Amino acid sequence: MDKVNLSESFSEFKEFKDIDRPTMMNILESVFRNMIIKKYGSDENFDIILNIDKGDLEVWRNREIVEDGAVEDDNSQIALSDAIKIEPDFEVGEEASEEVKLEDFGRRAVLALRQNLISKVLELEKDNIFKKYEDRVGDIITGEVYQVWKRELLILDDEGNELILPKSEQIPNDYFKKGDNIRAVVKQVEMRNNKPLITLSRTSPVFLERLFEQEVPEIFDGLITIKKIVREPGERAKVAVESYDDRIDPVGACVGMKGSRIHGIVRELRNENIDVINYTNNLQLYITRALSPAKVSSIKIDEETGKAEVFLAPDQVSLAIGKGGHNIKLAGKLTGYEIDVYREDIANDVEDDVALDEFADEIDDWIIDELKAIGCDTARNVLELSADELIKRTDLEEETVAEIRKIFAAEFE
């Protein structure tokens, strides 16, 4: 084969495919050996010489010299008369090396070689991208928006690799146009149809965790640990932090002087409200902190059912529940408990309430059953309904309703 200078091709592949020169040489040798096997049946007696520095490639065929008429295998043996055409000094028993010319393979074989080479390079490129991002799952990357589609964004990283940010992984208030820079965390990497699919996320709790690591040196250095993060993307997030150094205030360190550290994170998350709370093993205190900014009066915890009843002043109930119920929902996720909120005045009433069955000696059983059928199990439940509503929802007469209301009211006087 004529000397083929591949230096320019190598430089091009190195620039655009991120493939180093030795790897490229190995691919070339593999592709040429496949072509040799297809033409000659074996590549065992062929030498492929590669010059990594210059990008040169030569193919030589080595054959044993035998007497004229004694050739049994054209690929491994050559007649003396043919051998001396290559080198006049050759003798029987020696090995003759002959350079294989490009035209010896034929036009089709050369075109197939080129296609095979491109295919292997692309395959290696895909494999390299997959391995690179497989090791970066959970890391923040910065890219440029290349295409905006209805269901996803196409992002290009600094090497031109394609990344996907689905609509479901975008913050509701996110708005990007072509050319915008964007930050997101690598959520998932998979091979789909022999092509690496790299999915990004801005809604993952890991994204918020990485932002804290970037903004708060104490977290990056391990002086402060993030115990748990829960989010309603674009609305609210709760972050439980803990410091193993008593001299460091974990909440203060995360928020920064006048909120300097957390403001950048809030802006990145489209003004998502972030509550940073101090983690504790004291469950009552943990739930109290989780319901911030509401001030809790008292808590009853049932560890067996995983439920917590929280009692607050009437003006604190709406704060505990939060806009759209996000605050109480996130507090539940953070603590792992199902949280029910009660007003203090109702809590006191519940303690003083009396079950309807306690009035069995004064009120007929069928009347008590009628009241239970409409959801009234206690005396206060009945008194909370007007006389007209009780008449309308039950089969009781007006006089009967008036009488039972009088009995129940007397119980609390």
pTM equals 0.66
User: Which residues lie across from 299 on neighbouring strands?
Assistant: 310
Determine contact, residues 178/204, Cβ cutoff 8 Å.
Answer: no
Q: In whole angstroms, what is the distance from residue 232 CA to residue 204 CA?
A: 10
Beta pairing class for 224-232 and 181-192: unpaired
Q: What is the pLDDT of residues 356-410, one digit of tens each?
A: 888 888 888 888 888 887 777 788 888 888 888 888 878 888 898 899 888 888 8
Mean pLDDT of the chain: 85
Give the number of other CB atoms < 10 A from CB of residue 230. Answer: 20
pLDDT class of 189 with cuts at 50, 70, 90? very high
Q: Is pLDDT at 213 greater than 80 in this prediction?
A: yes
Q: Among candidates 201, 153, 159, which has minimal Cα distance to 177? A: 153
Buried b (16+ CB within 10 A) or exposed e, 135-157: eeeeebbebbbeeeeeebbbbeb
pLDDT at 115: 81
Q: What is the pLDDT of residues 90-138, one digit of tens each?
A: 888 888 887 877 667 777 877 877 787 778 888 888 888 999 999 999 9
For CA atoms 385, 391, 393, 396, the dihedral sign is positive
Determine contact, residues 230/277, Cβ cutoff 8 Å.
Answer: no
Using left for φ > 0, alpha for ψ between -120 and 50, and beta otherwise, residue 270 falls in left
Q: What is the pLDDT of residues 131-168, one digit of tens each?
A: 999 999 999 999 999 999 999 999 999 988 999 999 99
Q: Among candidates 78, 28, 22, 75, which has minimal Cα distance to 48? A: 28
